[in-house]
Every structure is written in C-alpha cells, then in structure tokens.
C-alpha cells in the first residue's frame, strides 16, 4: 500500500497498531525495514526490508502448501494426485501413461492441469496446488527436485514443396539464418530453441508465434515459414511437411518431473516409475516414426 494508514485500513487495524507491529518487527530483526519520509511521500522498503520480504513470501508459500496437504488429508484424498503438464507431454506421453497408471493403481484418482508457462507450473507445485509436474530442464531453483526422464531432440520442419535439403540429410544451421520462422510463444522450450539457433549461427526471424503446436505445423504446411520444434511436438506423418535434423544440432531438451520437497503421497513414486518407462517407449516410437521419413534417430532415454 506504501502507506501505513492505507495498510491499516485494508487490514482492519488502526494506524498506530500497524506502526507498533512494524516497530516491534524492526526491534526483533535489529534492522530498519522501512523508509518513512513523512508527509504525502510513500513509505518504501529498505534493502533489509526487501531481503526479509523475500523470505516472508517463501514462508507464506510453504504455509499454503501445508494447508493444501492438510486439506487433502482431511478430505480423504490420499489416493488423489494433481499432475502438471505441458502440451507435447499431454499429447504424446499422458495417453500412454494414464491407462498404465489406472491398471496398477485402480483406486487412485488423477487430475491433470496443463500450462504453457513452466514458471506457473512450478509456482503451483511450490504452493501445493500440484503434487508433481512435468517440466523441461533447466529447472529454476525452488523447493523441488528434478528427475530427468527422456531426451527429446529438436528438428526442422519445412513445407513439403520447400524442403531445405534432400531426404535424410541434416539442414545446416546457417541455412536457417534469416529465413521466416514459425515459433511458439516464449515458453521454456522455445527459449531453448532460439538460444540454440543463435549458438549454431542462425538468428531466428520469427514471423508468427502461437501457443499451439498444431498451429505451428499448420502454418509451416501453409508455406508461412519453417520451424524448429521438439520432435515430440510434430506429427512426422503429415504429408504437407518434411522433417529434417539440424547440423550442428541444438542440444536435446530434457523432459522430466519436478517433485516437491514437502511430504509426497506414495502414489508419486508410482507415477515417476511409470513415467520413466512410458517416456522411453514414446521416444523409441518417435525414433521409428521419424526414421520412416528419413530422420536418423539420435536421442535416448535419460
């Protein structure tokens, strides 16, 4: 609120009560936490106040996570998991994983929640809204562990009538420099793609962005441009596109699971074990599918 008076009104306290509590907090930590210029000027945090605020927000997140765990316990939801996911995992991994999970844990109920932004998945994991979530490395530091599952290579897709090379041959990265590129919104995966292109000597000339993998492929099919995509995000059997590896290759994206440091339901370990098996199967199937259209397999389960 930048004003003790406004903060007091919002909290339902008197201004003097808020001032007394702030003074008591400053005495407890031994630092001045607020700059009090007086008059109409706003109250601001000192550097010490900013440091303490960061810790306070983390504490509140842990309290929220604890409340979520207790609410689940009281509701008898020990046999329930909410799993975070993103688009290509939802399309390629979950349709295989969920039936296997039902077969080994028939009493477990599962809810899925898809987000384009990895930071949002991790935020929700941190406050207990998710029990675990699929993510792509690198994963930001936080109250979670990262378990790698599989490596998914990046490939170039082009309109069928505008291939960037003969069947089976890699596209030299420099050929992509300046070409019209269809890309996703700047998700964690798209950042990996564009940083990898730059490292390989190709500045991305993105002419269209979308949050939908199918739309990327459709725009390429229409002739709008080319795209660099994770292999699991493309349908290599589409007759309107061609799929090629890129050389030098962009480092594979590593798909994994983020697991919270807090107490985990036993079913989380079941999901992790199954996800590792399913990802290996899905990557192997993708190897075979892309090999059939002239792309040599080069990934392996992590």
What does the pLDDT look like over 159-201, one tens digit per residue? Answer: 999 999 888 789 999 999 999 999 999 999 999 999 999 999 9
In 3D space, the residue among 224, 228, 255 whose CA is nearest the CA of residue 240 turns out to be: 224
Q: If you search the block for the tokens 């378990």, which residue do you land on? A: 147
Q: What CATH architecture does domain 4-71 belong to?
A: Orthogonal Bundle (1.10)
**What pLDDT, on a 0 to 100 scale, did the predictor assign at position 122?**
97
Which residues are within 8 A (CB) of 18 and not within 5 positions of it... i.e. 6 or more apart?
4, 7, 8, 11
The Cα 60–Cα 265 span in angstroms is: 22
Q: Which of 253, 252, 302, 297 is nearest to 280 (CA)?
A: 302
CATH 1.10.10.10 domain range(s) in the chain = 4-71
Token pair of 222, please?
A: 């229409």
Look at 263 and 152; give whichever has higher pLDDT: 152
Q: Is residue 235 within 8 Å of 121, Cβ to Cβ?
A: no
Cβ–Cβ < 8 Å for 146, 139: yes
User: Strand runs (DSSP E) across 115-162, as ranges?
Assistant: 132-136, 144-152, 154-159
d(CA 171, CA 247): 6
* DSSP 8-state secondary structure symbol assigned to residue 143: S
CA distance 34 to 274: 51
Fold assignment, 78-151+253-291: D-Maltodextrin-Binding Protein; domain 2 (3.40.190)
% of the chain residues with pLDDT over 70 = 91
Q: What CATH number should be reported for the domain whose range is 154-247?
A: 3.40.190.10
User: What are the tokens at 280?
Assistant: 């290996």
Q: Is the pLDDT of residue 102 over 80?
A: yes
Is pLDDT larger for residue 37 or for residue 224?
224
**Which of 230, 252, 232, 257 is CA-nearest to residue 148?**
257
Residue 276: pLDDT over 60: yes
Q: Nearest 10 degrees: CA dihedral of 67, 68, 70, 73?
A: 170
- What does the pLDDT look like over 128-166, one tens digit per residue? 999 999 999 999 999 999 999 999 999 999 999 999 988
* The pLDDT of residue 70: 66
pLDDT at residue 72 in the model: 57
Q: How many CB atoms lie within 10 A of CB 200?
A: 19
Residue 289 sits at φ, ψ, to 5 deg, of -65, -40
- The boundaries of every CATH 3.40.190.10 domain in the chain are 78-151+253-291, 154-247
Residue 69: predicted pLDDT? 61
Question: For residue 136, is the peptide bond before it cis, meaning its omega torsion is within 30 degrees of 0?
Answer: no
Contact in structure between 3 and 43 (CB atoms under 8 Å): yes
- Looking at the chain, the whole-number percentage of residues with pLDDT higher than 90 is 61
């Amino acid at each position: 609120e930048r004003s003790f008076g406004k903060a007091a009104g919002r909290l339902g306290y008197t201004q003097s009560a808020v001032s007394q509590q702030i003074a008591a907090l400053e005495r407890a930590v031994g630092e001045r936490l607020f700059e009090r210029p007086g008059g109409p000027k706003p109250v601001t945090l000192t550097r010490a106040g900013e440091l303490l605020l960061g810790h306070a927000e983390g504490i509140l997140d842990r309290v929220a996570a604890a409340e979520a765990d207790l609410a689940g316990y009281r509701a008898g939801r020990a046999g329930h998991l909410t799993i975070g996911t993103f688009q290509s995992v939802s399309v390629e991994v979950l349709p295989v994983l969920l039936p296997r999970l039902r077969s080994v844990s028939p009493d477990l109920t599962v809810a899925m929640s898809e987000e384009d932004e990895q930071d949002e998945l991790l935020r929700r994991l941190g406050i207990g809204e998710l029990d675990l979530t699929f993510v792509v490395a690198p994963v930001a530091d936080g109250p979670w562990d990262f378990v790698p599952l599989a490596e998914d290579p990046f490939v170039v897709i082009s309109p069928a009538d505008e291939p960037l090379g003969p069947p089976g041959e890699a596209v030299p990265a420099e050929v992509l420099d300046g070409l019209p590129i269809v890309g996703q919104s700047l998700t964690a995966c798209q950042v990996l793609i564009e940083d990898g292109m730059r490292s390989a000597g190709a500045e991305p000339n993105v002419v269209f962005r979308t949050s939908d993998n199918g739309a990327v492929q459709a725009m390429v099919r229409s002739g709008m441009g080319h795209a660099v995509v994770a292999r699991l995000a493309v349908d290599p059997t589409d007759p309107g596109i061609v799929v090629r590896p890129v050389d030098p290759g962009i480092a594979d994206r590593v798909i994994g699971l983020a697991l919270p440091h807090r107490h985990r339901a036993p079913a989380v370990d079941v999901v992790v074990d199954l996800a590792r098996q399913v990802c290996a199967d899905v990557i192997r199937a993708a190897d075979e599918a892309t090999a059939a259209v002239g792309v040599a397999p080069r990934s392996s389960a992590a």
